[in-house]
Amino acid sequence: MSIIEQYGWNESFAQSLPEQKIPGRVILEHKSGYRVMTDFGEWPATLSGNYRHSHSRDEFPSVGDWVALEQMPGEDKGIIHQLLPRSSRFTRKAAGETSEMQTIAVNLDYVFLVMSLNHDFNVRRLERYLVAAWDSGAMPVVVLTKSDQCEDPAIYLKEVAATAFGVDVFAVSALTGAGMEAFGRYLTGGKTGALLGSSGVGKSSLINALTDSEKMAVQDIREDDSKGRHTTTHRELVLLPGGGLLIDTPGMREFQLADSADGLETSFQDITSFAAECRFRDCSHQQEPGCRIQSALASGELPEERYASYLKLLRELDYIERKSDLAKQQAERAVWKQRTKEYRSRPVKKR
């Protein structure tokens, strides 16, 4: 097996590779460039000038991407000329007032949503992550860490199962090894996963346990509130002894959804199923007779907290969509304004 085959290279990626170019997978991204794994080893790489100036920042490579490279003459370095099509992409809205999306990881088979069994456990936050995970094109899996510090993990497993429909969920301990074998079964044969979660939930400890090393630095959490300190400061793709690959990511204190309408419907399929049973097709789920949502809330079939979370995420996605449309309109106006300016500045031909 070649090096890049170990890193997940397959025929679907090969079909998009331009002639005379070298395939490589981005394993690390930093300010000055990238580290890319090729069949000739690990190379530092930079974007070609043409690629950099003809693509937006959102179209730049991310950790997990497959790229087409040219080797610098006489050096073990590469120039990235093309980004190969992605099989999946996990994103969030960039921080601040912008409507731009930030790519977290790409070409994933699994998105591991990590929460620890302490103060970090938060079902409402998990719902938010699940929406983005379903929308990414990868399969979400919920991993509850630090089970050795919890008296009864089964309580938490049951609560997650009632929220994460169709999603595997299990508790693990990187310290004692409990549950790690089941976790490791996902990561074989070139399969790629990414660890997503808050700071201090034990993402780096999971990688250390899977690699039987101290590859990733770890820090203790604060005892008073179980809040984590940032340990991982960059995204990195790691090849595991079992043949799988795992992307460690920095902890995210803020997670705003990108355009995840399909993921919302999948994550809250219980609510969409109730809504389909309403008497009126245009039911607003307020005071209409025969509203199945209201009857489910009254009977306790649908917890009020879950429905409130759904409405909050729905409003957030509606806002993002409106803002995105406005940004597109402004960009189009700017283009036409520039074209008009260029047209008016042209010299008039004398007859």
CA–CA distance, 37 with 172 (Å, rounded to integer): 30
Intervals of the chain under pLDDT 70? 94-99, 213-233, 252-256, 258-261, 323-351
The pLDDT value given to residue 223: 47
Report how far residue 302's alpha carbon sits from residue 254's, in angstroms, rounded to the nearest whole number: 27
Output the pLDDT for position 336.
Answer: 55
Helix, strand and coil in the chain, % to nearest 5: 35, 25, 45
Give whole-number Cα distances, 184 to 22, 268, 287, 324, in Å: 31, 28, 49, 39
Tell me the pairing of strands 78-83 and 89-93. unpaired
Position 324 scores a pLDDT of 62
Q: How far apart are CA 303 and CA 301, in angstroms?
A: 6
Provide the terminal-to-terminal Cα distance of the chain, rounded to the nearest Å.
72
Task: Write phi, then psi, for 15 (nearest 5 degrees).
Answer: -65, -25
Separation of alpha carbons 181 and 201, rounded Å: 19
Element of type H or E holding 115: strand 110-116
pLDDT digits (tens, 9 = 90+) for 250-308: 876 666 676 666 788 888 999 999 999 999 988 989 888 999 999 999 999 999 999 99
Supply 62's token pair.
Answer: 């991310």
